[in-house]
Chains A and B, each alone.
Chain A
Amino acid sequence: MTEFKMPSLGSDMEAGTLVEWLIKPGDRVKRGDIVAVVETQKGAIDVEIFETGVVEQILVPVGETVPVGAVLAIIRTAEEAAAPPAPEPPPSPPAPSTEPSAAAAGAGRARISPAARKRAAELGINLAGVTGSGPGGAVTLDDVEHAAKAARPPADRQAAMRQAIAAAMARSKREIPHYYLGATIDLSRAMAWLQAENERRPITERLLPAALLLKAVALALRQVPELNGFWLDGGFQPSPSAHVGVAISLRGGGLVNPALHDADRRSLGDLMAGLRDLVQRARTGSLRSSEMSDATITVTNLGEQGVDVVYGVIYPPQVALVGFGRIGERAWPVNGRIEPRLTVAATLAADHRASDGHRGGLLLTAVDRLLQEPEKL
C-alpha cells in the first residue's frame, strides 16, 4: 500500500482544495497519470500520481481543503496488485474522513497549530474569530483556510494569487541573500540563424527567441551546477536535471512559473512546443502538479514590452533566476568601430548561500558562448 498525498505545488502552498477526482476505487493508475484536480492560490492544478497500481480507497471528498502532505487516497502498488486478484471496488465511495489528519499534527498541545498561525498571519485572519475543529478545540490550518474563504469571495482568484506571490516573494527577500550580475550578449548570429531556420519551418513549428535563450541557460547549468537545485534545510541540494521554470504572466495579472522538464536534453523544436503548451495551459488554468513544484531554476523574459534589464527575485527554494530584457539593436564596438547589433541584457540573481559571484559569472559567460553557436543548441 502506498499513500497518495496532497503535493506541495510550490514553496508558498500550504493547502489545496480537492476539486475533482478523475479516479475511483478499483481503477488502475500508472505513474504520471493525472488523477485529481486541486484548487490552489495559483489556480486549478492537474495532480499527477507517482505510483503504478490500483486505487484502493479515496479518503478526501471533493470540496474538502486539506494541507500539503495529507493523505488523499490509498494505492495498492503494482506488485501488491499483481499477487491477489483485485477485489471488487466498494459499491459506494468510502465515508470521507471528517478531519484532515496532518492538519492537527502537534495541535493537540497548542491551541493553534504553528501552520495555522502562520497561514492566518499571511491571510490577515484574526484567530480570535476562528472556531477550532482539531483535538481539544485546536485551530487547524483547515479552519484558517475555511475562515479565509468565508472572508473572501471565492471569485477573488486574483487576490488569492496576489497573496501567494506575496508570501513567496517576501520569503525570498527575507531569507535569500541575493547577488546580481549582468552581461550584454550579442545575439546577431542567433537571430540570423533563427530567421533562416523559421523560413524553412512550417508555421506550427517556428521558434521564438525564448526557446534559444531557455536552451542556452539549461545547457549552461551543466557547467555551474550550484545554480541548479534547491536550498532546503540549511543546505544546497543540486538537481541532476535542468527543469527550467518559465515565468509566465497571466492575462489580467498574476504570475506562474511552471517547469519545462529536462530542458537541457530537448531539441529546440521540442522545447518550443513545450513552451507553447505550457503558456497556453498556464493561461487557461490546467497546469500539472509536477510542473508547479519542481522547477530547479527560473528564467524570466521581460523584454517584450520594452524592458531593457531585469533584476530578478529568486523563487524559493530555488537558488537562481536568469532574466532577459529586450532584444534590440544597440551600438556594439567591433574592431575599433561601432556597429548596430542585436543584443540582449542577460542578468542573474543568485543565492549567495549556494554560490559565489565568480561561479555566477561563469553561467552568464557560458550562456553567451552557447548563443554564439545557435546551430548547436
Chain B
Amino acid sequence: MNREQLKETVLRILGSIAPDVDLAAVEPDVEFRDQFDFDSMDFLNFAIGLHKELKIDIPEIDYPKLGALNGCLAYLEQALARRSP
C-alpha cells in the first residue's frame, strides 16, 4: 500500500467516525482533537478502525502518534513495514 492509498484509507475511517468533517480540508499537522472535536471515544474507534482495516496491532502507548494525519501516516507506514518484511 503506498502513501496515497494509506491516506485514503485513514481518511475513510476518519469520515466514518466524524461524518461531518470535510475530508478534503483536513489539516495534516493539526491534531484531530483540536481540528474536529475528536474525543477519546472517537479516538478509540479510530484506532480500532485502523486495526481492523490494516490488520496491525496498535499498543495504547502509541495512540499519541496517531493524533494528526501526517504523524499517523508515518506511524502506519512503519507498522506496515514491520509486519511484512
Interface size class of B (residues with CB under 8 A): 10 to 19
B45→A276 contact, CB < 8 A: yes
When distances are taken between beta carbons in the complex, the residues of chain B under 8 Å from A276 are 41, 44-45
Q: Is B58 an interface residue (CB 8 A)?
A: yes
B40→A304 contact, CB < 8 A: yes
A208→B60 contact, CB < 8 A: no
Q: Can you name the residue of chain A whose Cβ is closest to the Cβ of B58? A: A203
Nearest-Cβ distance from residue B46 to partner chain A, whole angstroms: 11
A206→B18 contact, CB < 8 A: no
When distances are taken between beta carbons in the complex, the residues of chain B under 8 Å from A305 are 37, 39
When distances are taken between beta carbons in the complex, the residues of chain B under 8 Å from A279 are 41
**Chain B 17-59 interface residues, beta-carbon cutoff 8 Å to A:** 18-20, 37, 39-41, 44-45, 47-48, 51, 57-59
> How many Å lie between the Cα of A280 and that of B40 in the bound state?
13
Q: Is A252 an interface residue (CB 8 A)?
A: yes
Q: Can you name the residue of chain B whose Cβ is closest to the Cβ of A197? A: B60
Q: Is A251 an interface residue (CB 8 A)?
A: yes
Nearest-Cβ distance from residue A118 to partner chain B, whole angstroms: 34
Q: Is A163 an interface residue (CB 8 A)?
A: no
The total of chain A residues at the interface (CB under 8 A) is 17
> How many Å lie between the Cα of A252 and that of B22 in the bound state?
13
B20→A199 contact, CB < 8 A: no
Given A203-B47, A203-B51, A252-B20, are A275 and B59 neighbors across the interface (CB < 8 Å)? no
> How many Å lie between the Cα of A275 and that of B41 in the bound state?
9
B41→A199 contact, CB < 8 A: no
When distances are taken between beta carbons in the complex, the residues of chain A under 8 Å from B51 are 203-204
> How many Å lie between the Cα of A198 and that of B39 in the bound state?
18
When distances are taken between beta carbons in the complex, the residues of chain A under 8 Å from B39 are 304-305
Option from B19, B37, B44, B61 in Cβ contact (under 8 Å) with A208: B44
Contact string against B for A residues 248-285, beta-carbon threshold 8 Å, 1 for contact and 0 otherwise: 00011000000000000000000000011001100000
> How many Å lie between the Cα of A305 and that of B36 in the bound state?
12
> How many Å lie between the Cα of A275 and that of B42 in the bound state?
12
Nearest-Cβ distance from residue B14 to partner chain A, whole angstroms: 12
When distances are taken between beta carbons in the complex, the residues of chain B under 8 Å from A252 are 20
Option from A204, A251, A275 in Cβ contact (under 8 Å) with B20: A251
A195→B40 contact, CB < 8 A: no
When distances are taken between beta carbons in the complex, the residues of chain B under 8 Å from A165 are none
Contact string against B for A residues 191-207, beta-carbon threshold 8 Å, 1 for contact and 0 otherwise: 00001001100011010
A251→B18 contact, CB < 8 A: yes
Q: Is A59 an interface residue (CB 8 A)?
A: no
> How many Å lie between the Cα of A247 and that of B61 in the bound state?
27
Nearest-Cβ distance from residue A181 to partner chain B, whole angstroms: 26
| 26 pairs, CB–CB < 8 Å, chain A vs chain B | A195-B60, A198-B60, A199-B59, A199-B60, A199-B61, A203-B47, A203-B48, A203-B51, A203-B57, A203-B58, A204-B51, A206-B44, A206-B60, A208-B44, A209-B40, A210-B40, A210-B41, A251-B19, A252-B20, A275-B41, A276-B44, A279-B41, A304-B39, A304-B40, A305-B37, A305-B39
